[in-house]
Amino acid sequence: MDSPEGATIRSEQKFRKFLKSLVRKQPRDLLLVIGTGVSAAVAPGIPALCSWRSCIEAVLGAAEQLEVLHPGDVAEFRKKVIKERDLLVVAHDLIRKMSPRTGDTKPNFFQDCLMEVFDNLEQHIQNPVVLQSILRLMERGTMVLTTNYDNLLEIFGQQQGKPMESLDLKDKDKVLQWARGHVKYGVLHIHGLYTDPCGMVLDPSGYKDVTQDPEVMEVLQNLYRTKSFLFLGCGETLRDQIFQALFLYTVKNKVDLEHYMLVLKENEDHFFKLQADMLLHGIKVVSYGDCFQQFPEYVQDLTAQICKQRSPDADRVDSTTPLGTSCVDCAKRKLGESGTSSPKRIKQSD
C-alpha cells in the first residue's frame, strides 16, 4: 500500500500545471542537459552520484584507500569541501593535484578513483523512470549532453536495445556528427566519461583544441541558439566553466533564447530570485516541487505532455523549410504573405 507521503506527492503532481511554451515544443527542438540530479534519482545507492560535494568526498575516500594522495592533502581537500562554496573549483584543484606536475591531466589518478566509486553501475539502477523518459524523448529526436562522468543512461538504453553511444569533446568528427543530429542515441559528456581517461578533463584549458576550433564552436553555439535546452538535475551547471566556455558566455543576445531549468523549490525567496536572474540568460526556471522525490514523476509527466504534440511534418511545416520550427499561426501568416495556401491548423493540447 502506498504511504501517505507518496499519495500526497502523486496528488500534487497530478494537478501541476506545465508551461505551455515548454510542453508545446517538438521533441526534436529540445536538447537535454543532464546533471547529477538525474543520476541521484536513478541510483540513490551510490553517494558519489548525488552531488558534486558527494562525488568529491567519495573520490577523496577512494584516494585514501588506494594511497594515491598524501594524507595531508586528503585532509586539506576535506576542509575545502566543507568551506568552499564553489565546489567546481575544488574539483579542478583536486584533478590537478592527482595529475602530472607538467600540468597535463592525463594520465591521472583521478580517473582511477572515479572507477572505484562508480564500480558496477548497472547493478545500482533502482528508479529508471527518468531514464525511460529521456529515452522516449531521444526516440523522437531530442539530443542529450551531460556534465556527469557516469554512463547510467547509456547502460540503461543498451538494456532496452538502443544503440547508445558515449561521446566526448576530444573526438571532433563525432562531435560534429552529433551536433548535426546524426547520432540519434549519442550522449555528449562535456567532462568526459570515467571509463575513458583520454576524454576526461575538468579544466577548460584542456578543451582549448575545441574552443579554438571555429567549426566545432559554431555548430555547438548554433545548438544553443536554435534548440531549447532543458536542464534536468543541474544545480551547478551554469557555474561550470566548461559549459560557460562552450555555450553560456559565447552566445550573444541571450534574452532572445528560450531555455528551461527544472529545480527544487526549497526556499521561495531564493527560487523567485533565481527565476529573475536566469531570465537574463534566456532560461526559464521551473519548479518540479518542494522535495526531490517529486522529480522523477514530474519528468515523466512532462515527457508525456511533450510527446503528445503532433509533429508539424503532417502539415508540411518542418525544420527544412524557411519557416523552421515557428508556431503554426506564424507559419500560416508567412505562407499567406507569400501567396501560398495556408497549412491545416494543428490542434494544440494543453
Q: Which three cell numbers stand for residue 51?
A: 552531488
Can you give the pLDDT at residue 327?
Answer: 44
More confident site: 131 or 171:
131
Can you give the pLDDT at residue 241?
Answer: 73
Q: 261 pairs with which residues across the strands?
A: 231, 285
Q: pLDDT of 232-288, one tens digit each?
A: 998 767 777 777 777 876 677 666 779 999 999 999 999 999 999 888 888 999 999
Residue 205: pLDDT over 80: no
Matching residue, cell 575516500: 61
More confident site: 248 or 35:
35
Mean pLDDT of 61-68: 95
Can you give the pLDDT at residue 171?
Answer: 86
Q: Would you list the domain boundaries of the chain?
A: 27-44+121-307, 47-117
Reported confidence tier of residue 18, pLDDT bands at 50, 70, 90: very high
- What percent of the chain clears pLDDT 70, i.e. is strictly above it? 77
Can you give the pLDDT at residue 280?
Answer: 83
Mean pLDDT of 328-336: 42
Can you give the pLDDT at residue 105?
Answer: 55
List the CATH code of the domain at 27-44+121-307. 3.40.50
Can you give the pLDDT at residue 203?
Answer: 60
Q: Classify strands 283-289 and 259-264 as parallel, antiparallel or unpaired.
A: parallel
Mean pLDDT of the chain: 82
More confident site: 123 or 196:
123
Matching residue, cell 584507500: 65
Can you give the pLDDT at residue 177?
Answer: 96
Residue 160: pLDDT over 90: yes
pTM for the structure as a whole: 0.79
Other Cβ atoms closer than 10 A to 333: 14
Q: Classify strands 186-189 and 259-264 as parallel, antiparallel or unpaired.
A: unpaired
Separation of alpha carbons 60 and 55, rounded Å: 9
Can you give the pLDDT at residue 229?
Answer: 95
Can you give the pLDDT at residue 245?
Answer: 76
Q: Which three cell numbers stand for residue 202?
A: 575538468
Q: pLDDT of 299-318, one tens digit each?
A: 999 999 999 977 766 554 44
Q: pLDDT of 102-115, one tens digit each?
A: 655 566 788 889 88
Is the distance from CB of 129 to CB of 300 less than 8 angstroms?
yes
Residue 346: pLDDT over 50: no
Query: How many angstroms from the chain centroid is the CA of residue 90?
Result: 21
Q: What is the DSSP string of 216-228?
A: HHHHHHHHHHHSE
